Amino acid sequence: MPRKHAPAFTPEAASASVVAGQPHNLPVLQAKMKRDPEGYEDELRQLHRHFESSVFLFRQQAALATTSASGGGGEVAKELGDLALFLAHVAPFYPDDLADLPDQIGGLLDTNARGLPPGLRTHLVQALILLVNRKIVDLEDTMELFMELQVIGDRAVKKLAFSHIVHSIRRMNQKHKNDTRNRKLQNILFKFLQAEEESRAKRAFTIVCDLHRRRVWFDERTTNAICDACFHPSSRIMIAAISFLLGYENAEQEDDSDASSSEDEADQNPQILLSKQDVYKANHKGTAASKKKKKAKLQRVIRSMKRQQRKSVDEAGSSYYSPLTYLKDAQGFAEKLFSRLQKCNERFEVRMMMLKVIARTIGLHHLVLLNFYPYLQRYVQPHQRDVTTLLAAAVQACHDMVPPDAVEPLFKQIVNQFVHDKSRPEAIAVGLNVVREICMRMPLMMNEDLLQDLVLYKKSHEKAVSIAARSLITLFREICPSLLVKKDRGRPVDPKARPKAFGEVTVASDVPGAELLDENISSEGEGSDDESDAFDSDDETTLPSAPPGTEENMEGSDANKLDANEDTEEEDEASDDDGTDEGQDNSDNDIDDIDEELDDDSDMDADTDMSDEDEDDEELKESINGSEDEGSDHDEDSDEGEKSNGSGSKVQKRKLSDYIGELNAADASLRALKRLAGAKKAQVSSDETGKILSDEDFKRIKELKAKKEAKLALAQHGLIKGVDTKSATFKMPSSDQLSRKRVDPLQLEAHVRRKMSKEERLAMVKAGREDRGAYVARAAVKQKKTGGLSNKQKQHRKRMPLAATRAKAARSRQEKKQLRKRSGNQFRGRKAWK
């Protein structure tokens, strides 16, 4: 509805309204009109005509010269402001008589807003806000006027109009979203935002950002309007938009720091699983020192479990949000902003902000912007200002969809400029951390020669450098152990792991964590976790999974056998050379261990024999029979050896050839078990491919994941045994998690000790002296002591027993007697006259 200006009044109408100029107590009359609207209709009409005449007189005075206008303008302005507020208060009770009041007030503000006195302008704005709140006039009809009022230069009116727009839109969307009205209001604000005039665009941008921050306008349309403000001709609007986008990243970092600080508390989350036995042992068993260590372990476990559970919650449904996530044309946004970055002449801080926004967009949406990496390469120098921020942007712009050839020059320059023997330790640490972060996102960047050169820095005496090098080793133990030398590989989870080729995508064929349900069902049915029951196949539909590390042990049986052979040969040589009984004892112990392994394997094979009647079982029976026969012979030999040792006779040591057949039989049984387990697992997986999981199943999977992570955390800290902790040492995040996670520049220079300046050292010294009093000598403190004698002084004043007193007197007499005796015989020198 277009606004109507106030009608022009004639002098006759002004003189006719003089009757209404009688002094009234407006607040009292307002209360009476609200109680009895019909009884005061005549007074209302008179006051309305008086308001119209006052508007006419004010406009006439505004048209006169400045000197004449300043004489009577104050009285007319005050009266006009009071009447406007009065009529706005009673307008809901007289909708017909005051129907044109919003147009009159709006027209006066629209035409003479800058020329009105500040008091009158404020009163008229308050009256118009009151009419909008009473729903006499719509917000859409007055939005443009309120936007114009924010740029006239009146601070009070600007604050009033801004708060009115924000609160009105929030109140409108409080119960439910009114999309029709929201779209109308957004069109008005976006029109101001896209205009070239800086003042109006700035006010519109402030309102849009405030509503978005309050989650009132939290849709893609508002998000894209904010992102489009990065291309505004005004540099101030562009900087404000970029700062707003980066502000969400800083807010995310603050939330992470708050979460990490809350982890230090000793409060236990109900979801955290801790064994009562561990808690009891930490508080009641052992000495004071051991209990202190156990309590410290428990606190570390609690913090570790909280971190694990928070990560699992983030994986299930991440609460991360950034306006850049909802860009409609992310590729066009990044290219357009990068072209402006190349052409702009803004200061260095602004260009760094633009650089961070571009890198964040590339990482979030997995964009390909090949010209961005050579642009970064120009600034990669150790002496570059804010180089860690630049390197963090380079890391965020790397993802698995970028061709490795495009990032390779930048990667090589980082290595050549930062990681060399003549570089400072701080630069080496930063370079190694950047290399680790880039390789985490793009493992194909690393080759074997470069990795072995970088790993050598683990022997550095600088803590930051050695930690960075070891973190690089930990990463490649997970993603590609073959690039490391044998001594650095450790015991990787998957020795044959390799990074995915460029463009390779892993497609999930089942629900992640569904196997935990089968493990849980099998553990409940069995009631025990013994390894001998792992392959028990009483239930034909489901096969309990093997305990962690069983398959790895089977695969590594050949390697273990070779190690055992080498150890036995070394012991044989040592025993032949020395001829002592220690070699015999060691060999006997080894034989006993092998007997136990064979017995366990035979028991396991016997259980499997009773349940299955396949061809694999026939092979298994043959291997079992052989192993049992050889095992019985071996037991007899070992018994005879023990008897002979007991009788004192010298027994010949058994060679490897004596029980090489037993090892082969055990190996054959393990292979048969492996084939059987694989066949059963394939059969179970094929039977359950069409199974539909319910909501309870997904909740159960989440609980089992939390329980498994808790057990891994406990085992990693040494509180429980029997759990494979190799997989808990390092967990490789997924590509989506890496793209959402912000790279903190401060983390790239972690553990780097910076040299403090003189001012910082003085400040630290003064801070240490605040809680400490002036220096006083210990003797002075003792002299000023109040509160009685010390224990030492009391001991001196204590009366001695009678026997001790007599002994002391006798001792004193003896000493005096000896002194007198020595004094008579003392040589006094040679006499002079002789």
Distance CA 112, CA 114 (A): 6
Distance CA 402, CA 195 (A): 37
Q: How confident is the model at residue 74 (pLDDT cuts 50, 70, 90)?
A: low
Distance CA 121, CA 77 (A): 9
Which stretches within 579-614 are classed as H helix? 581-611
The DSSP line for 13-43 is HHHHGGGGGS---HHHHHHHHHH-TGGGHHH
The DSSP line for 719-737 is SS-SS--GGGS--PPPHHH
Distance CA 93, CA 790 (A): 90
Domains parsed from the chain with CATH numbers: 26-63+74-252 (1.25.10), 368-498+730-748 (no CATH)
- Mean pLDDT for 9-36 is 60
The DSSP line for 217-248 is S-SHHHHHHHHHGGG-SSHHHHHHHHHHHHHH
pLDDT score recorded for residue 80: 87
Range in 93-107, 218-232, 708-722 the model is least confident about: 708-722
Q: How confident is the model at residue 476 (pLDDT cuts 50, 70, 90)?
A: very high
**DSSP code of residue 510:** S
Identify the helix (H) or strand (E) that includes residue 105: helix 101-112
Question: Do 663 and 594 contact (CB within 8 A), yes or no?
Answer: yes
Range in 80-94, 383-397, 418-432, 585-599 the model is least confident about: 585-599
Amino acid at 824: G
Q: Which two tokens stand for residue 685?
A: 């997986």
Q: Which residues of 262-287 are buried (b: 16+ CB within 10 A; e: fewer)?
A: eeeeeeeeeebbbeeebeebbeeeee
Closest CA to 735 of 502, 400, 314, 249: 400
Q: Is the pLDDT confidence value at 638 over 60?
A: no
Phi-psi region of 510 (alpha: psi -120 to 50; beta: other; left: phi over 0): beta
pLDDT for 160-207, tens place per residue?
999 999 999 999 998 888 899 999 999 999 999 999 899 999 999 999
In the block, tokens 């690039």 appear at 483
What predicted TM-score, i.e. pTM, was given to this entire model? 0.64
Chain centroid, CA 141 distance in Å: 46
Rg over alpha carbons for the chain, rounded to the nearest Å, is: 44
pLDDT for 227-241, tens place per residue?
999 999 999 999 999
In the block, tokens 């779209």 appear at 183
Close Cβ partners of 323 (under 8 Å, ≥ 6 residues apart)? 212, 223, 226, 227, 244, 245, 248
**DSSP code of residue 640:** H
Question: Do 105 and 124 contact (CB within 8 A), yes or no?
Answer: yes
Amino acid at 474: T
Distance CA 457, CA 448 (A): 15
- Mean pLDDT for 291-312 is 73
pLDDT score recorded for residue 663: 56
Range in 5-14, 20-29, 43-52, 187-196 the model is least confident about: 5-14
Q: Is the pLDDT confidence value at 129 over 90?
A: yes
Top-confidence range, 12-16, 65-69, 263-267, 467-471: 467-471
pLDDT score recorded for residue 242: 94
Closest CA to 743 of 348, 249, 205, 278: 249
Q: Which two tokens stand for residue 570?
A: 């070394």
Sign of CA dihedral 792, 793, 796, 799: negative
Sign of CA dihedral 386, 255, 176, 130: negative
pLDDT for 340-362, tens place per residue?
999 989 999 999 999 999 999 99
Q: H helices then E strands: how many in the chain?
A: 36, 0
In the block, tokens 């990243």 appear at 249
